[in-house]
Amino acid sequence: MFKGSIVALITPMDEKGKLCPKSLKNLITYHIKNNTSAIVSVGTTGESSTLSQKEHINLVLRTVDLVEKKIPIIAGTGSNATEESINLTQKFENVGISACLSVTPYYNRPTQKGLYEHFKSISENTSLPQILYNIPIRTGCDLLPETIAKLAKYKNIIGIKEATGDLSRINQIKTLIKKNFLLLSGDDATALDFIKLGGDGVISVTANIAAKEMAQMCRIALKEDYYNAQLINQLLMPLHKYLFIETNPIPVKWAAQKLGLIENSKLRLPLTMLSSDNKKILNNIINQFVIKTCNSS
């Protein structure tokens, strides 16, 4: 269900910073059409940290309605407060989502024991499948392989989004966990190598604007046709790099608007619009990508 290219979906907003339903529908149609494997709704790329809980819940529910069971939905439910994570997770029981993505508690910087107890508590208070999310650069804490292995003993903890970019983690986790456990990359630039080493796919920022190519690359790589997967990945590599020219999701929202996928690239403070200099750089990268994909099709 969760193999391949999974999009970390942006949250389209209007000029006033409110959800843009028209653009959300357009994005979902785009991903269904281009064979994205699943949608992460209201994760980091979806600006979860600046949405109220009411907005967060309504956005996930609206996404469920628009998808019409055509593609699995993973709801972002992470928080730095365990009780809040549990409460948010329970809001999505029996609404049609397939799993939750729960990031390590940010700012608190818990110990490995604290991380274990946090995810254990969430697991014990829901029947929904849980995907752990490790991204130390944003959270200030690192969920280590040994702790992941302890958590994997819980039936509804089914996998991890590993976004350290450290490819050695894959073998460490696979060595410690004997059951079938999803390994998803959280780093587009190393996603192909991640799959080569035994990963199941990627939760992707790049897929927001290159859904077809990311889906193809992952599908081919999972069939172990690494030569052709690498050809696609070389085409995508400038996007992998320059979509992070400023803090995610600033560049990818601007790129999505440029490509006509959303009507507005509005963000909520403290995130600001892409700078003029970086617009020029990213504009050039996107134009080259469009030309190359047109020529290769």
220-247 per-position pLDDT tens digit: 999 999 999 999 999 999 999 999 999 9
How do residues 14-28 score in pLDDT, each as one tens digit? 999 999 999 999 999
Cα distance between residue 26 and residue 9, in whole Å: 12
Q: Which CATH number fits domain 4-236: 3.40.50.150, 3.30.450.40, 3.90.1640.10, 3.20.20.70?
A: 3.20.20.70
Q: What is the pLDDT of residue 280?
A: 97
| Catalytic machinery residues | 133, 161
Confidence of residue 293 (pLDDT cuts 50, 70, 90): confident
Check: CB of residue 163 under 8 Å from CB of residue 133: yes
CB 154 within 8 Å of CB 128:
no
Mean of pLDDT over the chain = 96
- Band (pLDDT 50/70/90 cuts) for residue 1 is low
Q: Is 45 annotated as a binding residue?
A: yes
Give residue 295's pLDDT.
66
> Do the Cβ atoms of 44 and 135 come closer than 8 Å?
yes
